[in-house]
A = this chain, B = another copy of it.
Amino acid sequence: MNDHKPLSDTRERILDAAERLFMESGYEGTSMRMITGEAEVNLAAVNYHFGSKEALLREVFRRRLAWLNRERLRELDDLELNAAGEPLKPSAILEAFFGTLLHMGSDESLGGMTFLRLLGRTLTEPADFIRTFFAGEYAEVIERYKRALFRALPEVPHEEIIWRFHLMLGAMSYAIAGTDALQVVTGCELDLDNEGPNAAKQLAARVMPFLLGGLRAPLPQFPVSQEQQSQSEPTKAA
């Protein structure tokens, strides 16, 4: 039967077009006719190959997140293996988690900046099925990295670590997604020099110090949790 097929490049054409358009106009703002038009395939092709628009979006992400999350787990495994039971340095954990992400921006075969920006923007999409999907895709990776951070920052309350993880994700998403979204707000010429592969490297150099600074910031003194800590450097990472 069907064996040495070219894997019907119709599928890939649709996924590429959808990736770009979802990034540019969002899920609800992108119609099937826009997608099939850009992909130069028949309107019915999406439903034939993927079943529905929702399933198409899921596949757009699955094709990229499969690599991303596998790589994230692999790098964390490596770190923990080399640490021989010792807690990891926070900077190493962030490097593994966000470095893999930013690496995708440099590699066009992994989606490049287009996928990075799509990912950043989609995390705030309110549609239920999107949030449910992401929860499932991310569950294992988040759990592993959360635990690594708990061990790396033993004197920081778990709740505080989760919050800061959350905040780091937000900052990174904006840095990625907002290449032109918020620059209009900051009214500036900053922007990544070009869309090329070193755009992601610049991004990393810009963002990683910020994230580390936030993660290692003094804890809030606040009637919110049992322990509190007023020295200005609660952790020793990096």
Contacts and interface: CB of A to CB of B under 8 A. Distances in A.
A84 interface: no
Interface residues of A, number: 67
A209 interface: yes
B185 A162 contact: no
Interface in A122-150: 123-127, 131-132, 134-135, 138-139, 142-143, 146
A134 B184 contact: yes
Number of copies: 2
A143 B187 contact: yes
A206 B220 contact: yes
Given A139-B187, A184-B134, A187-B139, A170 B178 contact: yes
**Listed residue (A127, A162, A165, A209) with the most chain B CB atoms within 10 angstroms of its CB:** A209
A126 B26 contact: yes
Classify the secondary structure of A's interface with B: helix
Contact of A181 (B121, B123, B174, B177): B123
Given A124-B121, A209-B217, A163 B184 contact: no
A216 interface: yes
A125 to B, nearest CB: 7
A228 to B, nearest CB: 11
A166 B142 contact: no
Interface of A: 24-26, 28-29, 120-121, 123-127, 131-132, 134-135, 138-139, 142-143, 146, 159-160, 162-175, 177-178, 181-188, 190, 202, 205-220, 222, 224
Given A166-B175, A169-B174, A208-B220, 10 more contacts: A26-B125, A124-B124, A142-B186, A142-B187, A143-B187, A166-B186, A171-B174, A173-B174, A210-B214, A214-B217
17 contacts: A25-B127, A123-B182, A124-B174, A124-B181, A135-B185, A163-B210, A166-B175, A166-B190, A167-B175, A168-B171, A169-B174, A205-B220, A205-B222, A210-B215, A211-B214, A213-B216, A214-B217
